[in-house]
């Protein structure tokens, strides 16, 4: 295959779109061409050209740019969703359909249940705060005690909960690779703080590393969830770990009736073998 062929271009286009989405998920901000170039591993000039072509093909949407200004983009479908959220004028109530009102009532009743399933599904592909929320939701659904997601207070583990009087300190990572040692090291810091600052005993604490590894790949086809260093640090600190896919399957087993919530809590607490 010649460099610069149609197949090469298709791969580059896909890398650019994926880099745009990844930047948004990781930073909660829209990327400039420089950001996309770094994530996609494509030279900046070539990346800018691809972005312009994708804008023309309505795969990307230019949010900001101009002569001498950086080009800022987001996926075209995301922009369309933003536009659909435009508030309706108050006078639209006069022109509403009765049938639609009845349907909206039914939709509201079902939306809570749908939202529950979506939270569980996010365990398989999300990262950052949405993934933390999904893990906390699943733990609460399994009836662990005092489940707290500390998203507003970053001077805490991502999530904490209680099981049989023992406090769990949870660090969560969604990554396109294997989970690395940094989260294991953070866990050790949280455990030490509980002991030093809050006079907890080591026997009253348990650290958990929860990882959504290789999150862009179908769960059954993913590689090893932990790097070699992550495994060794978890062993050193006597911390536990499990994947979000492991948690997802436990939730499914409870829903299917093949596992009780009590059995599920025990299984989560034991975690997966570090290897």
pLDDT in 10s for each residue of the chain, 275 residues: 344 455 567 899 999 999 999 899 888 899 999 999 999 999 999 999 999 999 999 999 999 998 888 999 999 999 998 888 888 888 887 887 888 878 888 888 877 788 889 999 999 999 999 999 999 999 999 999 999 999 888 899 999 999 999 999 999 999 999 999 999 999 999 999 999 999 999 999 999 999 999 999 999 999 999 999 999 999 999 999 999 999 999 999 999 999 999 999 999 999 999 98
Residues 141 and 261 in one domain: yes
| Burial grade of 78 (CB within 10 A; 0-12, 13-18, 19 or more) | middle
Residues 65 and 152 in one domain: no
Residues 140 and 260 in one domain: yes
Number of Cβ within 10 Å of residue 166's Cβ equals: 13
- Predicted local distance difference test score (pLDDT) of residue 1: 37
Within-domain flag for 187:
yes
Residues 25 and 144 in one domain: no
Question: Are 184 and 170 within 8 A, CB to CB?
Answer: no
What is the C-alpha to C-alpha distance for residues 153 and 128, in angstroms, rounded to an integer? 14
Residues 130 and 265 in one domain: yes
Question: Are 182 and 234 within 8 A, CB to CB?
Answer: no
Q: β-strands 205-212, 240-243: how paired?
A: parallel
**Sign of dihedral through CA atoms 110, 114, 116, 119?**
negative
Considering its fold, how many domains does the chain have in total? Answer: 2
Within-domain flag for 254:
yes
- Predicted local distance difference test score (pLDDT) of residue 7: 53
- Predicted local distance difference test score (pLDDT) of residue 107: 82
- Predicted local distance difference test score (pLDDT) of residue 67: 85
Residues 147 and 256 in one domain: yes
Residues 75 and 142 in one domain: no
What is the C-alpha to C-alpha distance for residues 58 and 75, in angstroms, rounded to an integer? 8
Residues 76 and 156 in one domain: no
What is the C-alpha to C-alpha distance for residues 269 and 167, in angstroms, rounded to an integer? 11
Residues 262 and 130 in one domain: yes
56: containing domain: 7-80
- Predicted local distance difference test score (pLDDT) of residue 8: 61
For the record, the structure tokens of 207 come out as: 């650290």
For the record, the structure tokens of 58 come out as: 């309505």
The angle formed by the CA atoms of residues 67, 15 and 212, to the nearest 5 degrees, is: 125
């Amino acid at each position: 295959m010649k460099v610069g062929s149609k197949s090469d271009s298709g791969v580059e286009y896909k890398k650019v779109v994926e880099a745009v989405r990844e930047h948004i998920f990781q930073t909660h901000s829209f990327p400039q061409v420089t950001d996309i170039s770094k994530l996609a591993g494509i030279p900046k000039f070539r990346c800018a050209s691809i972005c312009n072509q994708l804008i023309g093909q309505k795969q990307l949407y230019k949010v900001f740019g101009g002569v001498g200004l950086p080009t800022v983009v987001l996926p075209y479908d995301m922009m369309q969703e933003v536009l659909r959220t435009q508030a309706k004028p108050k006078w639209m109530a006069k022109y509403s359909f009765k049938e639609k009102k009845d349907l909206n009532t039914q939709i509201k009743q079902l939306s809570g249940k749908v939202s529950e399933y979506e939270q569980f599904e996010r365990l398989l592909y999300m990262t950052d705060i949405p993934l933390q929320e999904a893990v906390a939701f699943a733990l609460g659904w399994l009836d662990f005690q005092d489940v707290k997601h500390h998203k507003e207070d970053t001077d805490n583990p991502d999530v904490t909960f209680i099981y049989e009087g023992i406090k769990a300190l949870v660090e969560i990572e969604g990554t396109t690779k294997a989970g690395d040692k940094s989260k294991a090291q953070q866990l050790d810091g949280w455990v030490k703080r509980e002991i030093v600052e809050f006079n907890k005993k080591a026997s009253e604490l348990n650290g958990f590393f929860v990882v959504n590894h290789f999150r862009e790949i179908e769960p059954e086809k993913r590689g090893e969830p932990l790097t070699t260093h992550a495994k060794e640090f978890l062993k050193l600190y006597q911390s536990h770990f499990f994947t979000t896919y492991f948690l997802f399957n436990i939730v499914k087993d409870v829903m299917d009736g093949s596992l009780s919530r009590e059995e599920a809590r025990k299984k989560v607490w034991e975690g997966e073998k570090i290897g």
